[in-house]
Structure 1
Amino acid sequence: VSIINCGRRKLWLTFAPVADKTAAYFHISMDTINWLSLVYLLISIPFGLVATWILDTVGLKCAVILSAWLNMAGSVIRTFSVISFLSLGSLTYTYLFIGQCLCALAQPLVIFSPTKLAALWFPDHQRATANMISSMSNPLGILIANLLSPALVSEEKDIPLMLGLYAIPAVTACILATVGVHDRVPPTPPSASATHSTSQPFFTGLKMLLRNKPYVILMVCFGAGIGMFTCFSALLEQILCVRGYSNFFAGLNGALFTVFGLLGAFLLGLYVDKTRKFIESTKVCFCLTALASIAFAVVSFVNQAVPLALISSLFGFFGFSIYPVAMELAVECSFPVGEGTSTGLIFVSSQIQGVILMLLLQALTVQISAAPFSTCDIEEGGALDWTVSTLGMAGACSVVACFYVIFFHTDYKRLHAEASNAASINKTGTEQLPGFAGSALLGPPELGPQGSQLQGGSLEASQAQAQAWVSGPPSSAAGSLEALQSPTLVQPWSCRPWKPWLSGSLPGGLAGNQGGFISNCHLLFDER
């Protein structure tokens, strides 16, 4: 997921750091170049709902493989547009645009995946970190594009080389996904919520989300934040070149924006995993991001290289750090709706707002007849002044941050559900089983005489006693276990010391661990 997510972002922002030279190579305007970024947002709006259905209904494996193939096909077709012996003539941009559209189809499939991956494959104390790692491959792709594109394209004739090199990782990721992804879910569920899935059907989940006030507020505010970051990444070179800054400096600012964003996301992910302060963390970071956007608008003028670099770093540090935490927060406030659906709607919202914002920012630009400091290499049209646009983006970011801080409040529904599940197990009665001298086996009271599952706690027995009991216990037991005959150990799951709600020990041989005892095991039994 991380490799595909990183590659997707590189393909999306291939042209943004060298927009002027790309426009000159294809003999098109800067507005037309911007459509290579806008198409990602537009396609993600209708296909985003399809992607959420695929993730929550068909599964993570299908979504990952399909996105890898779409990325590969799109990147190869983009390369065809600049192969000289094909003699495409006026169709070169058409092929480029078609390839970009195919890559855009892959975006919602992979960008919605991190929360699903974290929920299915990681325990609760690692979910925010896992989400952070897979989500932050997204800005890593921005970093690579901002550094690699200007380095590869010193002149417009270098565009074919750039497209060819960008196709190689996409082909590699497609091969790895096709060959390497085998399982939809892990053989051993990592948490109680992963074992006992309570996700709602897709359309039922959609209705629940749209009626969930905290989720709707998060969807609007965080969607706006992603839309603003999308516009900033796509338009940064155009904003700076008119002020006399080179493509290299614009790429450097984009790289600083991303590197410090990765650092912020890593630190905040670790902090939230330990403290569970999702809401407080996102509110503080959102406010600081708004301040950074205002500062960027104020200093984006001539001869302000150091302040611009510093503010771009802070903008990324506080802004990107919200990303993985907000994804986990979306799942927490929308539980038991599926993870793909809850994150998918936020990204659909972000794409809609991103399209509106990008068109609005372009409309607010002013064409400059004389731009003595401009380094923009543009054949069609002229240099554009983005002063009003950057001030407008800063104002929008400030309004959204204030709205989020004032109105967003929610319970952590998934964490509470897991805690309730743990408490219900701890409160169940004990039953004395012959064959276990002085041992206790806890079972939920709702299991009747013919119940097929026992959830075990506090098991203490010798190796011989346990093996004898598993191979053939007495024909009856007391209470709710009276008619449970010959239970056989099916699957020991979650034998981890971080489960404080189950304690005891089991002979290691029964759990496939020949090296002694395993503490804190949750066991599944089947009546056979």
Structure 2
Amino acid sequence: METNQQDSTSTALLSDRDSQQDGDSDGEEVKYVVYKKRWLVLFIVTFLGFSSDMIWMSFSPAATIMADYYNVSINEINVVSLAHMILPIGFSFVASWLLDSYGLRPSLLIGSWVALIGSVLRVISTMHFMPSSWRFPVVLTGQAIAATVAPIFNVCTTKVSEQWFGPKQRSLSTMVVSASYGITLANLITPIIIKYKGVQFMFILYAGFPLFGALITTFGMTSSKPPTPPSPSAAAGVQPFWPGVKQILKNRQFIILMLLVGLESGLFDALSVVAEEMMCTHGYEPTFSGLVMGVQSGVGVFGALFASLYVDRTKLFEETLKVLYCLSSTSVALMMTVSCIPHMQAPILITNIAYGIFSSAAYPIALELSVETSYPVAEGTSNGLILMFIHLEGVIFTFILEALSQPMTNYERIHQKCNPTTPHHQGSNVTSGYHGYNNSYGIHGYYDSSTYHPSRFYNSVTKTNVSEPKDMTVAMMVFAGLECFQAIALTLFFKSGNRRLKAEETMEPAEGESSVNA
């Protein structure tokens, strides 16, 4: 066994079942080892998820701007963002099989390099030599390629925690990997980068993240597992993929958790796609909606951190999750209400901060609880099914929210901040507010707010597909209602058996012993 300098050492006895499974004789002493290299593995996996989220969130924070740049409708831009929700519906299952069958390192190598290929195609779509009719299909193709491997970075969260971390750090590990760092940063900086540097610069910058991710995975991720397991459950092993799928689909409590976590997180993802549309018709700038989503994800990291530390210590997974979802639904109901009222920036930010803290704190706990509820099914299997339903329900609710949109009122047409290019005055020639490549947010373009006038929309010669935004007040109320339904249903109907915790109690080391920290 290869270890670094040991901080503390002790031994533990595996049960007869575990000793036989590992090929050891009955009663043989083994060490549960927690390696310092786990932090490098955690960083690599977290960074890959961060870079994937940056690719995903390149469009929705500035949907109207990107629609103008690619000469398409906002609905077509939403399709680009939805690629990271539609394709993972099927590829989450593939990612689960890949992780459970071949391990962490091969799966991450495939994911990191394929994501880089998708990012390069996005950059190519902005090049001067690219025919205008090809630009949008090429960027959509690049986005789709990156989306096919995104589930690998999401599904592996609980597997990293189980295989590399001890019982007292598993929830913390899951929280670190699953936190929305990329969503936070992309929502904050994407509109600003496009405004001052252009779309091409933004794509090139964001392509640097998967490049670095591919390199550190190739040279830093040397193995899928540590030489010695960090906990009794990791030593005991899990079921193979296909038997695990059959067993988990018969687990009623897991099905309830899967559907309801999918509902809440799917709504969260849908909101990230349509947030700008929801707010701009009520007079809020795209930069403000980007700030709202960025702050929401950013503060959520702190909420998730404290909640993960709490459940690692208390093991009150179910109770904590139910409380967080109830608080989350209350916060989002208030947020949706005040977002329908113009000039309510401060209340929107306050309620949004509360929603981000509670919703983001609940997510890693839900992932750990899925493992507890389905043990001894492999972590990749349970996590993959959860993510599959998150994306499925996210896509469904995105289309439902869009379908519930209504034509803008006259007041909204005057005060909306959605359409970025309008004529100076009625009867004049159409004058774009954009300067630079292709008369839009281009390679060196920026938006000149002095030409902006929200009184009417237009279709210029080169921008024939720009459509009028819609009022999404009804959609926002339905969103809040679904969040409240999810919290009530989970509180009433879900009961976790904490199977992994109970199994580990029968495999605990003798009193006074602990695992090796190497």
2:9 corresponds in structure 1 to: none
CA-to-aligned-CA distance 1:337-363 (integer Å, 9 cap, x gap): 000000100110111111110000000
Task: For residue 502 of structure 1, report the CA deviation from its aligned partner.
Answer: 4.9
Q: What is the aligned counterpart of 2:258 among 219, 237, 241?
A: 219
2:138 corresponds in structure 1 to: 95
Larger Cα Rg: Structure 1 or Structure 2? 1
CA-to-aligned-CA distance 1:35-62 (integer Å, 9 cap, x gap): 0111111111111111100111110111
CA-to-aligned-CA distance 1:421-479 (integer Å, 9 cap, x gap): 23xxxxxxxxxxxxxxxxxxxxxxxxxxxxxxxxxxxxxxxxxxxxxxxxxxxxxxxxx
Residue type of the alignment partner of 1:126 = Q
Q: What is the aligned counterpart of 1:177 among 212, 217, 225?
A: 217
RMSD over aligned CA atoms reads 1.4
Residue type of the alignment partner of 1:393 = F
Task: For residue 130 of structure 1, report the CA deviation from its aligned partner.
Answer: 0.9
The answer to whether the aligner puts 1:322 opposite 2:322 as a matched pair is no
2:97 corresponds in structure 1 to: 53
Q: What is the aligned counterpart of 2:126 among 82, 87, 96?
A: 82
The answer to whether the aligner puts 1:242 opposite 2:272 as a matched pair is no
Q: What is the aligned counterpart of 2:174 among 131, 139, 144?
A: 131
Contact 2:82 2:273 in 1 (8 A): no
1:229 corresponds in structure 2 to: 268
Q: Normalising by the residue count of structure 2, what TM-score does the alignment of the two structures yield?
A: 0.80
Separation in structure 2 between the aligned mates of residue 391 and residue 376 of structure 1, nearest angstrom: 20
Separation in structure 1 between the aligned mates of residue 419 and residue 200 of structure 2, nearest angstrom: 18
**RCO comparison, higher one (Cα < 8 Å, 6+):** 2
Separation in structure 2 between the aligned mates of residue 278 and residue 74 of structure 1, nearest angstrom: 37
Separation in structure 2 between the aligned mates of residue 324 and residue 74 of structure 1, nearest angstrom: 28
Residue type of the alignment partner of 2:419 = D
CA-to-aligned-CA distance 1:97-155 (integer Å, 9 cap, x gap): 0000011011111101110000000011111111111111xx11011101110111127
Q: How does 1:327-338 map to 2 (within 5 A)?
A: 327-338=367-378
1:168 corresponds in structure 2 to: 208
Query: What secondary structure is seen at the aligned counterpart in 2 of 1:189?
Result: coil
Query: What secondary structure is seen at the aligned counterpart in 1 of 2:477?
Result: helix
Task: For residue 521 of structure 1, report the CA deviation from its aligned partner.
Answer: 6.7
Task: For residue 87 of structure 1, report the CA deviation from its aligned partner.
Answer: 2.8
Residue type of the alignment partner of 1:125 = K
Query: What secondary structure is seen at the aligned counterpart in 2 of 1:367?
Result: coil
Q: Which runs of 5+ in 1 are unaligned?
A: 423-498, 504-518, 523-528
Query: What secondary structure is seen at the aligned counterpart in 1 of 2:506?
Result: helix
Residue type of the alignment partner of 2:287 = F
Contact 2:273 2:398 in 1 (8 A): no
Q: What is the aligned counterpart of 2:471 among 381, 385, 398?
A: 385
Task: For residue 367 of structure 1, report the CA deviation from its aligned partner.
Answer: 2.0
Query: What secondary structure is seen at the aligned counterpart in 2 of 1:19?
Result: helix
The answer to whether the aligner puts 1:374 opposite 2:374 as a matched pair is no
Task: For residue 405 of structure 1, report the CA deviation from its aligned partner.
Answer: 0.3
1:113 corresponds in structure 2 to: 156
Contact 1:293 1:394 in 2 (8 A): yes
Contact 2:329 2:483 in 1 (8 A): yes
2:41 corresponds in structure 1 to: none
Q: What is the aligned counterpart of 2:308 among 241, 248, 269?
A: 269
Give the number of aligned pairs.
425
Contact 2:230 2:515 in 1 (8 A): no
Q: How does 1:138-157 map to 2 (within 5 A)?
A: 139-154=180-195
Task: For residue 377 of structure 1, report the CA deviation from its aligned partner.
Answer: 2.2
Q: Which runs of 5+ in 2 are unaligned?
A: 1-44, 421-458, 460-465
Residue type of the alignment partner of 1:4 = L
Query: What secondary structure is seen at the aligned counterpart in 1 of 2:223?
Result: coil
Q: How does 1:125-524 map to 2 (within 5 A)?
A: 125-136=168-179, 139-154=180-195, 158-197=198-237, 199-300=238-339, 301-368=341-408, 370=410, 371-377=413-419, 380-422=466-508, 499=509, 501-503=510-512, 520=514
Task: For residue 89 of structure 1, report the CA deviation from its aligned partner.
Answer: 2.1
CA-to-aligned-CA distance 1:390-420 (integer Å, 9 cap, x gap): 1011111111111100000021111111111
Give % identity.
32
Contact 1:24 1:377 in 2 (8 A): no
Contact 1:368 1:384 in 2 (8 A): yes
Residue type of the alignment partner of 2:216 = L
CA-to-aligned-CA distance 1:132-191 (integer Å, 9 cap, x gap): 11111xx11011101110111127x81111111111111111111111111111022111
Task: For residue 383 of structure 1, report the CA deviation from its aligned partner.
Answer: 2.3
Separation in structure 2 between the aligned mates of residue 520 and residue 130 of structure 1, nearest angstrom: 19
Contact 1:205 1:338 in 2 (8 A): yes
